[in-house]
Amino acid sequence: MLFFIKKRKLVLDLFTKRQMVFDAAKPKMAAHFYPDWWKELKTEHQFGNDIFPSATMRRCMGFVDHYKHGFIIPMWSDFRVELGPIGDPFFIAAFSDATTPLNAHPSVLRGKFMPDSHYQHVKLHTPWVAKCKEDVYFKWEQPTWGYRNPNCSIVLPGTIEYKYQYSMNVNLMFARQHEKTMIEIPFQQPLVHVTPLTERELELKYHLVNEEEYNTLLQGEKLSNINRYRAYRRVRESEERKCPFGFGK
């Protein structure tokens, strides 16, 4: 007799303190974000006198399956950044909600990678924080298929966990042009695609919390420096390994 044991779901708890974000800009499973241009395609296209029609991207399994995994964080407000031309480090950026904080890292922190003469870094502090009871890593990447102008901005990829840290900030690079440029990321545009590195099914749970609870979760943001983060994680892991009855202390 064969027994099939269903794998338990991986639960990721998402927290925000902003009612409008909770109502209208929840991160959702990626399948909710198939782009409109893809939905409008027919499954096949006939070229001239070809005997067989050609499949369109509606039948591309690499595309279809990509949206079956992970979740997408949509933009929660209109965002604009104005850039000086190539060689001019000027930039100014703002959200229409006049609430979301952002900042930029000086280029010296990344060496020769994407210099300020040609690119501008901006970190967006999302209104969400995440928490997972399990030590599972999540891969961050750009949802390029859902971008209106994919050549203008780049979401910097990374891999992160939510057991020992909870922030969900997004790092972007904007490309300078030969003249002054204004770039806009509109409300609800897919911003980042986050995929857990596990075969288990993911379940998202949403929580609207007060400012005190939200700020408590963000206290660990100062541990973003890798050495501090590792030190903090070692302490947490050591505490978790201790016997609950106090033996071995």
Q: What pLDDT band is residue 187 in, cutting at 50, 70 and 90?
A: very high
Q: What pLDDT band is residue 41 in, cutting at 50, 70 and 90?
A: very high
Q: What pLDDT band is residue 49 in, cutting at 50, 70 and 90?
A: confident
Does residue 114 have a pLDDT over 60? yes
Does residue 215 have a pLDDT over 70? yes
Task: Work out the end-to-end distance of the chain between its first and last CA atoms, rounded to an integer number of angstroms.
Answer: 45
What share of the chain has pLDDT > 70, as a percent?
Answer: 86
Average pLDDT value over all residues in the chain: 90
Does residue 245 have a pLDDT over 60? no
pLDDT at 32: 97
Query: pTM to 2 decimals?
Result: 0.86
